[in-house]
Amino acid sequence: MAFVTTDDGAEIYFKDWGSPDAQPIMFHHGWPLSADDWDAQMLFFLAKGYRVIASDRRGHGRSSQIGTGHDMDHYASDVDAVVQHLDLRNAVHIGHSTGGGQVARYVAQYGEPQGRVAKAILVSSVPPLMVQTDANPDGTPISVFDDFRSALAANRAEFFQAVASGPFYGFNRDGVTPSEPVIANWWRQGMMGSALAHYEGIKAFSETDQTDDLKAISVPVLVTQGDDDQVVPYKDAALKQHELLSNSTLKIYEGYPHGMLTTHADVLNPDLLAFIQQ
């Protein structure tokens, strides 16, 4: 397996498929998952002739269960370590959920200043800020995230099962047939990682204000989300991302859930490809 060691000692696992001469697409997964959550996209884009790369966030998946650095600054710095190691240029960065926050911070603070980024795509992503504050009155109350932390600490296995079988993929909606293999794969990915990384990651994805990151990005960005996202409310996420970005395209999918990259890959993949090829 391939790893990069960061300056603070974290070992970041990554997978890298395709010709080194092809345009690279780097995928950034959501909480509490791993690079495996991008299987459907990586195979699709590999078949289209792209070089595809995905890493496991520190403390997640196969990356080391380091006890520190579970914050958006380290997440972005870790991405830069992988990018520098592989010398990725003219890259497209695609992030889902927490991975979208990771993309926004990386592109704003590393990728664009270094001239390494061609485009970015935010899918069901957490920026600019999830938690409710005086300045963000429409955000999600902190009590919701406190409940996440309590449930995770009490019984992570049960909590992850509930998330995957319920709101993440919209399997709790009337008329939707749950996929037990999809639920099991989500649970598998989550349980591979560190409970500490997942616990502290809740603060990272919910309380990091990324308004300035979005304002700093000038490359073309596709912003996309389902309007039935029960995890990240789209009116406080995709709509605000589109307002803050200077060069964005917005696409809202009617009735799609937070995990739409899995449940509706047949629709999402061609749409992502069309944006990349523009």
Average model confidence (pLDDT) for the chain? 98
The percent of residues above 90 in pLDDT, for the chain, comes to: 100
Q: For the residues of the chain, what is the DSSP string, one character each? A: -EEEE-TTS-EEEEEEES-TTSPEEEEEPPTT--GGGGHHHHHHHHHTT-EEEEEPPTTSTTS---SS--SHHHHHHHHHHHHHHHT--SEEEEEETHHHHHHHHHIIIIITTTT-EEEEEEES---S--B--SS-TTSB-HHHHHHHHHHHHHHHHHHHHHHHHTTTTTTTSTTPPP-HHHHHHHHHHHHHS-HHHHHHHHHHHHH---HHHHHH--S-EEEEEETT-SSS-GGGTHHHHHHH-SSEEEEEETT--TTHHHHTHHHHHHHHHHHHH-
Residues tagged active-site: 97, 229, 258
- The CATH number assigned to the domain holding 258 equals 3.40.50.1820
Residue 164's pLDDT is 98
Average pLDDT over residues 61-66: 98
Answer yes or no: is pLDDT of 1 > 90: no
Average pLDDT over residues 137-150: 97
Which tens digit of pLDDT belongs to each residue from 17-48? 999 999 999 999 999 999 999 999 999 999 99
The band of 116, judged by pLDDT with boundaries at 50, 70 and 90, is very high
Q: How many distinct structural domains can be found in the chain?
A: 1
Q: Which domain holds residue 125?
A: 3-277
Which tens digit of pLDDT belongs to each residue from 118-136? 999 999 999 999 999 999 9
Residue 92's pLDDT is 98
Which tens digit of pLDDT belongs to each residue from 178-197? 999 999 999 999 999 999 99
pTM of full prediction above 0.85? yes
